[in-house]
Chain A
Amino acid sequence: MFRAVLYTQWKWTRPAIMLAVLVAGYIPVAALRAMPYKTESTYYIPSLYRGMAAASTYYQWLALFVAVVVAISAWQADGHRQHVYALSLPVPRWRFVLLRFGAGAALLGVVAAAVGLFGGVAAAIAPLPPILHAYPVGLAVRFWLGSLIPFGLIFALLVSSPKRVRLVVAGVATIVVVDMALAAMGVIDKPVVIGTIFDAIYSGRGPLAAFLSKWMLVDV
């Protein structure tokens, strides 16, 4: 059953996954090729570190891209037909949702594996000074977990009924408007809701906090 669901999702996301694998291979190569200094140079280590820090952003964008595509594709075909086929299958709804989620997570794992594999190859080829170490497996795990978070959020939104989504969006919009109105009327100093939401999502233990830290292939 899982294989059948995985196959459909692979078929729907194949171009995006293959593109992501290619990009995953290109990022470390591009980062290392962009080194302006030779290994003997005193600037080599800081330059390599900066290069890897820049590559971190590309990994994050890649994770976000692939997560969005895989999440949307998971339900697009069912959504087009009002989920009639899925609902007519002899499995409980929660199980079908889990099958779709699992298949999406597995496909993200393919890109994460490519990140780890190509990162490992690139790090093996590049001369690393003793102070720096390559973490291809750690990067791959981080990439996978990082991509699972936006995937899970979008997936959950798409699984919800349109009515529930409209309710949530309307609720948040109302709170934001009231917050801004209160600030405009001088009841509060400045709008606090948007900043609080942003902090809740990105900082500390927020679901997208991982995207603010560095995803380093090479680190101390």
Chain B
Amino acid sequence: MSDAIALKHVAYRPAKEFAIRDLTMTVQSGAIYGFLGPNGSGKTTTIKLILGMQDADDGLIEVLGHQIPQGAPQALARIGYVPEKVHLYASLTVGEMMDHHRAFYGTWDAARADELRRQFSLRSEQKIERLSKGEAGKLMMLLALATQPELLVLDEPTDGLDPVVRRDVLGALVEYVSTRNATVLVSSHLVHEQERVCDWVGVMDGGSLIAEMPMNTFRSGIKRLRVSGAPPVLPAAPFTLLGRTTTAGTEEEWGVRGWQPDMGAWLTAQGATLREVIDLDLEESFVELLSSARTGGAS
């Protein structure tokens, strides 16, 4: 499978106090890639680098076979982008904004755009400055989908939207992706929402990608173990120990990645007793991974 987006050792310092460091990331064609991370972790900056809106200081960025930023216009012609904040011209009406957008995209599907406008209950004569946040979000999604993109880049597309609007927006997205086999990069800090739609996940924190894996692996691979009698120093484990905290006496809780049921024997060999294996939901896994990254991990 080819890569829709490939970043190799990308570095970028937009401000003294923040930098993207040695970012290597791959989004395969046809994947729905959930780009997770807390606010300020560098998701939006990475997206802007991918779209050629900002120029990286170092590294390689390739999108749909085009080098970025040199080939950004060619790549952007095949990308539908929904930014974090409303970026449209406030004084235009919905119809005027659609006409304006159409002028730049040869692939504009006018029939589909009108269909989406009706589906989203938007009127052509509505002024953009008077749209609610939900309506503006729907209009941005409309503009992105009507260009029939091969790649959709969505930056917190449902942030701040009410459940009904969120359902409408995600519904239109899922319908488009299922019929077109498009690639999607969707950033969010709403972990549960990503769990429903994504098949790959990348986690950003502090300007670095701390994990990138299929959603199934992410969902099932991170566990919390209740262990007692473990020695303070451990030899190389067959799993990744994300963190260990003492709860009572010799009893500890371990956050682990890559856990398999047969690995209990390794613990026994260390003189430890495995009391319980606790399944984590995606949000707990995400928090476990972040705290591990911030403390440098336990092994």
Contacts and interface: CB of A to CB of B under 8 A. Distances in A.
Interface of A: 1, 3-4, 7-8, 11-12, 77, 80-81, 84-85, 87-92
B73 interface: yes
A91 B83 CA distance: 18
- A contact face: mostly helix, strand, loop, or mixed: helix
Given A1-B104, A3-B103, A4-B104, A88 B88 contact: no
Nearest to A85: B87
A7 B91 contact: no
Given A1-B103, A4-B100, A90-B76, A12 B53 contact: no
A56 to B, nearest CB: 35
Interface in B44-92: 51-53, 73-77, 81, 83, 85-92
A12 to B, nearest CB: 6
Interface residues of B, number: 25
16 contacts: A1-B104, A3-B103, A4-B99, A8-B89, A8-B96, A11-B91, A77-B91, A81-B86, A84-B53, A84-B83, A85-B87, A87-B53, A88-B51, A88-B76, A88-B81, A92-B73
B88 A89 contact: no
B105 interface: yes
Given A88-B53, A90-B74, A91-B73, A80 B100 contact: no
Contacts of A90: 73-77, 104-105
Contacts, number: 55
Nearest to A11: B91
B104 A91 contact: yes
Contact of B92 (A8, A80, A84): A8
Contacts of A7: 96, 99-100
Contacts of A4: 99-100, 102-104
